[in-house]
Amino acid sequence: MKPAVCKAAMAVGALFLLVGILGFIPGITTNYGSMEFAGHESQAKLFGIFQVSILHNLVHLVFGVLGLILGRSPGTAKNFLVWGGAVYLLLWLYGLFIDKEHTTNFIPVNRADDWLHFLLGVGMIALGLLTTRKKTRSAVEGGHRATGDLPPGSTAPRGRHETREPRDRGR
């Protein structure tokens, strides 16, 4: 069974791949005929909301392929999610501070893209961190306490379980 982080990276990769493909489909992308390779002049909008260009769609496709490839092992999957999320947070900041009608908007992005990039960045980083968190076991399970969880100084043999007795608080 694949670790959760691998599944998450592959799912995010598949989503990016799908969005990259949809960006090239007229009808799903409105004003398709006005799509430019790059730049703010592109008036094409994915789902009529998110401003796209050929470059923007290619970036989605590359992220998708990377997610599918890097999602095969836990370490690379986590890196894809965390560092990919960081890239999307940088894109969010980029979008917040540029003039949308200037040549610096070469990707291009609009306000809807900015906030989507924020959500993608936070979501990817959260997935990368939460799906690789070490699971801790409860010290008390079923009335027994594993000796590995005993307080320092305990002399119980390793690998055995002992029943927890209630403490006499009346002394």
Query: DSSP assignment of 72-136, as one string?
Result: TSHHHHHHHHHHHHHHHHHHHHHHHHS-TTSTT--S---HHHHHHHHHHHHHHHHHHHHTTPPP-
Quick one: pLDDT at residue 126? 97
36-45, 60-69, 83-92, 158-167: segment of lowest average pLDDT: 158-167
Looking at per-residue pLDDT, the higher value among 148 and 99 belongs to: 99
Quick one: pLDDT at residue 75? 95
Quick one: pLDDT at residue 122? 97
The highest-confidence range among 36-50, 69-83, 153-167, by mean pLDDT, is: 69-83
Quick one: pLDDT at residue 134? 78
Looking at per-residue pLDDT, the higher value among 110 and 127 belongs to: 127
